[in-house]
Amino acid sequence: MMYESSAPIRIDLAGGTLDIWPIYILENGGITINAAINIRATSRLRKRNDKKIIIISKDNGEIVKFEDISKLNHEKLGLVTRIIQYFKPNFGFELETEIGLPVGTGLGTSSSLGIALMHLFNKITDKALTEKQIIDLLGNIEAQTIGVNTGKQDYYAATYGGFNAIRFECDGEYNEKIKLSKGFLKRINDSFILCFTGKTHYSATNNWDMIKRYMENDSLVRNAMKKIKIIALAAKDALKNENFNALVRTIEDEGNNRRNLSEDIVTTQMDKIINEIPKNDFITFKPLGAGGGGCILIVCKEDTKENIIRIIEKFGAQNINFIFDEKGVGVIERY
C-alpha cells in the first residue's frame, strides 16, 4: 500500500506579512491575497513490516533513518520529523518528499509540503483533524522549526487552491475564494512571468527583521504596513471585478511599499534584471514572499513574454512555467 499527497505552492499578490501575528492584531486585522499554481509539493509513503522510519528528500538528496518513532530527532529535515512526531504513527514506513524547486524561492514551498504531509498523516492515523486545525497546528510546528513567528497565508493556498482573500482578525481567520472567468485567468497567465533569480532566501530572517522594526515602532515599516493593507483590499476588489489594470496597479504599489519593510527585500540582481527589460515590454514587478532573493513576479505587455524570458536567462535567472491551479491538497491511495 502506498499513500500519496500533494498540495500547490502559491504566488502572493498583495498583503504579505499581514498574515503574521501580532502584526495583523495591531493593524486591526490583516488581509492577504494569493493564488495557487500548478507546481505541487508531493509526499509518498509506503508502510513497512517493521518499525523503521526512512525519510528521503528528493530535492536536496538527504536520507535520514530511525530505528523506530522513539529514536526520531530533528537534526535534519526538521519540519518533516516534527510532523511525524506529532502524529506518532504506530508503524514503520518509507517517506519520500519532493517539490521540484529549491527551498527559499519565496513561493511557500515548505509550507505546501507541510500541508501535504499533515493531510497524509491525518488520513493514515486516528487524529481526525479538521482543515482549520491542521492549518493552526502546522503554523506552530513551522514556528518551532524555524525559530520565529510564521505567516499563515501559504497554508490556505495549499489547502484550498485557487485565488484566496484571507482575513486575519482578532477572533480568527476567514478565507474567501475568488472565482475568475476563464478569459480573465488566461489574460493573467499570458501577462505574468515567474522569475527565479537563482539566489535562495531565508524568509525567517527578513520576516523577523520586519517584525522587529514594526514592534520598535519604526515609522517606515508601520506606514508601509498600513498602505499594504489598503493595497490588499484594492487587489481583492480588482480580482472580483476582473479589472486587469487595477490589479496591475496593486501589484506595483505592493512592490514599491515592500522596499520600506527591509533594505534587503529587492536585491541588486533583481534591479539589474528589471532595468534591462525594455520599457515597451514591461509593466511592473514585485518580489515574492519575504524577498531578498527567491522569485519575482513580472507583469509584461502583450506578446512580449518571450523577449523578457530571454533577458531573464541572460542574467542566470530562470523562468518558471506555471498556470493557476484550482485544486487544493489531496491524498490518494495506491495499491
Domain that holds residue 118: 2-178
Does 47 lie in the same domain as 9? yes
Evaluated on CA atoms 111, 14, 210, 134, the torsion sign reads: negative
Q: What is the pLDDT of residue 202?
A: 63
pLDDT at 205 over 90: no
Residue where a domain terminates, one of 122, 156, 178: 178
Q: What is the pLDDT of residue 257?
A: 87
Is 329 part of a structural domain of the chain? no
The pLDDT > 90 percentage for the chain reads 76
Is 235 part of a structural domain of the chain? yes
What is the mean predicted confidence (pLDDT) over 11-18? Answer: 94
Q: What is the pLDDT of residue 109?
A: 94
Q: What is the pLDDT of residue 267?
A: 82
Confidence of residue 91 (pLDDT cuts 50, 70, 90): very high
Does 284 lie in the same domain as 236? yes
pLDDT at 43 over 70: yes
Q: What is the pLDDT of residue 180?
A: 97
Residue where a domain terminates, one of 161, 178, 195: 178
Is 91 part of a structural domain of the chain? yes
Is 201 part of a structural domain of the chain? yes
pLDDT tens-place string over residues 125-170? 989 999 999 999 999 999 999 888 889 999 999 999 999 999 999 9
**CATH code (residue 44):** 3.30.230.10
Is 63 part of a structural domain of the chain? yes
Q: What is the pLDDT of residue 208?
A: 80
Instruction: Tally the domains of the chain.
Output: 2
Q: What is the pLDDT of residue 296?
A: 92
Q: What is the pLDDT of residue 29?
A: 96
Q: Is the pTM of this model over 0.85?
A: yes
pLDDT at 200 over 80: no
Does 217 lie in the same domain as 166? no
First to last CA, the chain: 5
Is 327 part of a structural domain of the chain? no
Does 197 lie in the same domain as 113? no
Does 157 lie in the same domain as 15? yes
pLDDT at 102 over 90: no
Is 299 part of a structural domain of the chain? yes
pLDDT at 223 over 80: yes
Is 335 part of a structural domain of the chain? no
pLDDT tens-place string over residues 228-253? 999 999 999 999 999 999 999 999 99
Residue where a domain terminates, one of 118, 151, 178: 178
DSSP string, 109-161: HHHHHHHHHHHHHHHHSS----HHHHHHHHHHHHHHHHSS--B-HHHHHHHH-
Does 100 lie in the same domain as 8? yes
Does 98 lie in the same domain as 192? no
pLDDT at 26 over 80: yes
pLDDT at 5 over 80: yes
Q: Across all residues in the chain, what is the average pLDDT?
A: 93
For residue 223, the surrounding DSSP H or E stretch is helix 219-240
Does 298 lie in the same domain as 213? yes
Does 149 lie in the same domain as 41? yes
Q: What's the one-letter identity of residue 23?
A: I
**CATH code (residue 295):** 3.30.70.890
Does 158 lie in the same domain as 134? yes
pLDDT at 218 over 80: yes
Per-residue HEC secondary structure of 20-41 comes to ECCHHHHCCCEEEEEEEEEEEE
Does 286 lie in the same domain as 146? no
Q: What is the pLDDT of residue 201?
A: 65
Q: What is the distance between the alpha carbons of residues 329 and 116, in angstroms, rounded to a whole number?
A: 6
Q: What is the distance between the alpha carbons of residues 65 and 27, in angstroms, rounded to a whole number?
A: 45
Confidence of residue 203 (pLDDT cuts 50, 70, 90): low
Q: What is the pLDDT of residue 322?
A: 95
pLDDT at 81 over 90: yes
Q: What is the pLDDT of residue 292?
A: 75
Q: What is the pLDDT of residue 27?
A: 95
Does 169 lie in the same domain as 193? no
The lowest-confidence range among 121-125, 158-162, 203-207, 319-323 is 203-207
Q: What is the pLDDT of residue 166?
A: 98
SS3 of residue 321 by DSSP:
coil
Confidence of residue 35 (pLDDT cuts 50, 70, 90): very high
